[in-house]
Structure 1
Amino acid sequence: MSIAKQITPALVACAAAGWLAAGAAPAQAAAAPVSAAAAHPVRACTYRLAHVRPSSYLRVRKGPGLRFRPIGRLTTAGGRVAGSCTTTKGWVAVKTSAGRSGWAWGHYLRKVAKSHRSDIVAGPSLTCTYQLAHVRSTSALRVRRGPGLRFRPIGRLTTAGGRVAGSCTTTKGWVAVKTSAGRSGWAWGHYLRKVAKPHPAAPATVPSLGCTYQFLNQGPAGSLAVYNGPGTGYQPIGTLNAGGRFAGSCTTTNGWVAVKTSTGKVGWTPAQKLLKIAGR
């Protein structure tokens, strides 16, 4: 290969020692190539080429030194390079663009910071509701891929986005949420305030009110709350007032009786508070 087609790097102070810094070397009368490749450390780090023009390349040698013969090259077009995290006499164990194992001069390689963990941590079900706390309307709360700062950001939550679906429990202080764009991730719980759970939907059907009830062991001034479903988790819709009789279902659902409120709405109240006086 002619000298014009090779990189002639500035050899810094190393030139005096006869080292060839990364890049293609000028034509040289080198010692006979060493055929045995040096043992390679694990390539657990990532590099990109530095001080290498797009039109040029970096030579990869069979071992960590100029006495080893070239076996391939690295180019800027090839993207990032897997390499050893430590050097051997200034050389980094790498793979060529064609996938061969070799060594490149570390002066022309710049280590890239390790990327954030990419694995998604499975989150619990998002059955609770939150609103943002301590977050200004002009700011946002980052959502990360997992429960920790080491995970990369994947989205954000804003006050303008309204309430947020999230996990009812935390993992190391982090809450599983959905971003404003609907992606699942994790947000730091300090900036989320849990909102009371929404009431479940009312049952689609209600038993017929074929029996008659009155209050059990309550004076004429008492009252009972009536809910739109058989349980206190449902929305209150009215009351039953003591001192009279009222229509109710002849069967119970989870210990609750379907009744009519004092204003005529159909709902549910606890059976243990009622005495059936007519019907089956």
Structure 2
Amino acid sequence: MTVAKSIVPALATLAAAGWLVAGQPTPALAGPAGSDAGGHLTPRIATEPASGVRGHPGSGAATVRPPGPGDPTASGPYGEVVHQAQRGPGLVCAYRIKGVRKGGFLNVREGAGIRHAPVAKLRPADGGFSGACTATGGWIAVKTAGGTSGYAAARYLRRLDLSGRPSLSCVYRLRHVRKGSFLNVREGAGIHHAPVGKLRRADGNIAGACDATRGWVAVDSGDGIPGWASARYLRRM
């Protein structure tokens, strides 16, 4: 008796006994990963499906979460999120929000995903804020200017370009800035660059580059956001 002739009866016996079950391949669930943007309703697997098995859909039905208040309604291309594993998971990069209309805001959520509750908001007027250099499933760990930590959708974040920025080896203090006022820290060396933070007299000593670039000095804002400040308002210690 050949091997094939001996295997066929064995398979038939297993099938008759209920040990061998022919299954259909599971269709792929297409669609983008869940993001914090309204207007793109993303099919999601229900956490408690009809099958009663957590994490496995029962009848193929999927739940859809509508956008909540504060979720942007306009979509755009995914932002450039540079993954630098050597920088580690800490909040060592700086970002600004993009694709959010003036007067709107971007939700900061408790975890990485729209299923997590909002804990804070990011607005265009907030300027820069710190965040992780590596995204987690399309979400980036951030810290708002108010000190709240959470996650924001990577597609609405633009990482600040710090290439070629000099080291901050000198110390400065503000000058010609009235008490209660502030000096803008801008994304680049020039007033045509957007503000990313502020320097106030109460901030005390300011870390900055030892040499100015076209009248601007590389500094960190009072909240630790990297940028540039006008040299005429800085006094080197």
TM-score, length-normalised on structure 2? Answer: 0.33
From the two aligned structures, give the one with the greater strand fraction: 1
Which is greater in Rg? 1
Q: Which one scores higher on RCO, CA 8 angstroms, separation ≥ 6? A: 2
